[in-house]
């Protein structure tokens, strides 16, 4: 999918970002200080930079001055309200706040890439092809009719593929505010997706948690 540069001096956080972005199919490179990160950004082409504000040698804000043209998501401390405002004024596309939720990170990366790269209009796995803009699904060349929420659920699973998603997270991603039922609704919709698309192997139950689309 996308080539992403992570410039973050806290290795545990950098590794966490890389691990999860690679799970959903991105290719990542890691740099741990401002200067070497900027050198890399200027010599290689990246689709997105995930940029910490406080870095050795050179701050994230300083780096922003040189990387215009490449989308940037800032990583700021929870208390850094001014950093967030400054980052967006400097031209950052979005920011995430430490400590961050992994699903939120993946969603924000996806949103920025969709805006800037125009990507993710379709996704294919096995004999299944999903057209996101047209909201159509084909299996073995035959169109499968999904109800709106079934399609939204499939899209949420694809966007967060290989990640374990709790029922609460799925409700947040798919039903948002018009949700009135209980978490059983999720189970019913997952069951329908499994049946309609023959996903019993791929759409796995994660014990005591929720579900995962393994691709």
Binding site for Ca ion (CB under 5 A): 9, 52, 54
Q: Output the smallest distance, CB 12 to Ca ion, in A.
A: 11
Residue with nearest beta carbon to Ca ion: 54
Cβ-based nearer residue to Ca ion, 52 or 150: 52
Q: Output the smallest distance, CB 55 to Ca ion, in A.
A: 6
Q: Which two tokens stand for residue 86?
A: 């400054």
Shortest CA distance to 45 belongs to which of 21, 22, 32, 29? Answer: 29
Q: Output the smallest distance, CB 52 to Ca ion, in A.
A: 4
Residues 6+ apart with CB under 8 A from 71: 47, 48, 49, 93, 112, 113, 115, 116, 117
Q: CA separation (Å) from 146 to 130, 149, 211?
A: 11, 8, 19
Cβ-based nearer residue to Ca ion, 49 or 203: 49
Cβ-based nearer residue to Ca ion, 6 or 163: 6
Cβ-based nearer residue to Ca ion, 52 or 155: 52
Q: Output the smallest distance, CB 210 to Ca ion, in A.
A: 32
Separation of alpha carbons 10 and 105, rounded Å: 16
């Amino acid at each position: 999918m996308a080539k992403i540069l992570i410039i973050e001096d806290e290795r545990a956080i950098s590794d966490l970002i890389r691990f999860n972005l690679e799970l959903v199919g991105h290719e990542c490179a890691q740099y741990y200080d401002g200067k070497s990160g900027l050198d890399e950004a200027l010599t290689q082409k990246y689709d997105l930079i995930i940029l910490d504000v406080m870095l050795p040698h050179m701050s994230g804000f300083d780096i922003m001055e040189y990387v215009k043209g490449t989308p940037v998501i800032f990583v700021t401390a929870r208390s850094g309200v001014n950093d967030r405002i400054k980052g967006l004024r400097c031209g950052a596309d979005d920011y995430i706040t430490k400590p961050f939720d992994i699903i939120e990170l993946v969603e924000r990366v996806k949103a920025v890439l969709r805006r800037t790269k125009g990507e993710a209009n379709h996704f294919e796995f096995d004999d299944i092809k999903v057209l996101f803009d047209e909201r159509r699904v084909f299996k073995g060349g035959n169109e499968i009719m999904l109800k709106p929420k079934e399609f939204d659920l499939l899209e949420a699973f694809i966007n967060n593929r290989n990640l374990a998603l709790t029922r609460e997270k799925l409700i947040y991603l798919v039903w948002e505010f018009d949700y009135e039922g209980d978490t059983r609704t999720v189970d019913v919709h997952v069951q329908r997706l499994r049946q309609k698309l023959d996903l019993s192997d791929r759409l796995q139950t994660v014990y005591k948690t929720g579900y995962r689309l393994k691709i």
